Amino acid sequence: MAQLAGDPVRRDGGFGWESATLHGRDVAYQYRPGPGPALLLVHGVGSSSQAWGAVLEHLESGNERVIAVDLPGHGRSDKGRGDYSLGALASTLRDLLDHLGIASATLVGHSLGGGIAMQFAYQFPQRTDRLVLVASGGLGEETFPLLRAATLPGSELVIRGLTHERALGALDRLASGLQSLRIRNDFVSEDTRTILRGLNESQARSAFLSTLRSVVDVSGQRVSAVEKLSAAGALPTLLVWGDRDPIIPLEHGQRAVELLPQGRLVVFPGAGHEPQRHDPARFAELVQEFTQP
């Protein structure tokens, strides 16, 4: 387990950056060892393990063994050409657990990460202890119109323009103005601007679009796990959603939990697409309680 150059040494009981070479690709992850159950945190498209932010700080108080991965093509991981399908990404997670010597884990997946977590459970049921699906993709067709538009030909040119320093500055000012007026700003949210800043390199944009187009097209989400939920009926599953999610409707979670005999849905009032950032302390507490044997 190699520590990434330039990063501080892990604090006692805290998280540190490490990397693993899996089938010729470097995969970065934040890691904290522990004697308790393993948690594997999987972010959404265009994001990184940094999306878990304060959640990781709150998890430091527990005994869980926690891995927050940067998926291939994202964050600090390699962004070269490759297979960015759900199946390939799920296999990468399996390989990472093998690398760490972890037999099984609870997968905590946000947005696209939820779809990957469900695919992992389908491919590797014996390696899956529980599922936590956070505003998860793969449970319905509807999704944010701008994500559908990003799958169209020529969208890379538009994204490249939006990642220009002047464009990002304008978005920051717009977000500040909307916040001062107390106007909801789903399009220019902090997470959206963070994702755009991470797409300022050609390889990062290419990986983002390859990943997005593997699950979304102009009509909406093109990959559904709904028909597989019955096979996961015996798997304890926690769904977490914000009641103001503009990206993936809360109704997806409400319909899905009805198909899961061991499913539970928790709604964060006032939260958008990232309930884990809206109330990280509550989110971490929910996950810790859920993973106790």
Active site residue 111: yes
Compute the C-alpha angle 142/124/57, nearest 5°.
Answer: 70
**Cα–Cα distance, 281 to 60 (Å, whole number):** 11
**Cα–Cα distance, 96 to 18 (Å, whole number):** 11
Is residue 236 within 8 A of residue 289, CB to CB? The reply is no
Active site residue 19: no
Matching residue, tokens 């960015």: 84
Look up residue 34 and give its DSSP letter.
-
**Catalytic position from the list 47, 49, 77, 111:** 111
3-state percent helix, strand, coil for the chain, nearest multiple of 5: 40, 20, 40
Dihedral over alpha carbons 66, 199, 146, 217 (to 10 degrees): -80
Length of the chain equals 293
Active site residue 26: no
* Beta strand pairing call for 220-221 and 216-217: antiparallel
**Catalytic position from the list 70, 191, 245, 279:** 245
Dihedral over alpha carbons 167, 172, 175, 180 (to 10 degrees): -140
Strands (DSSP E) contained in the chain are: 2-3, 16-22, 25-32, 38-42, 65-69, 105-110, 128-134, 216-217, 220-221, 237-242, 263-268
Look up residue 9 and give its DSSP letter.
P
Residue 265's contacts (CB-CB under 8 Å, 6 or more residues apart) are 239, 240, 241, 253, 254, 257
Catalytic residues: 111, 245, 273
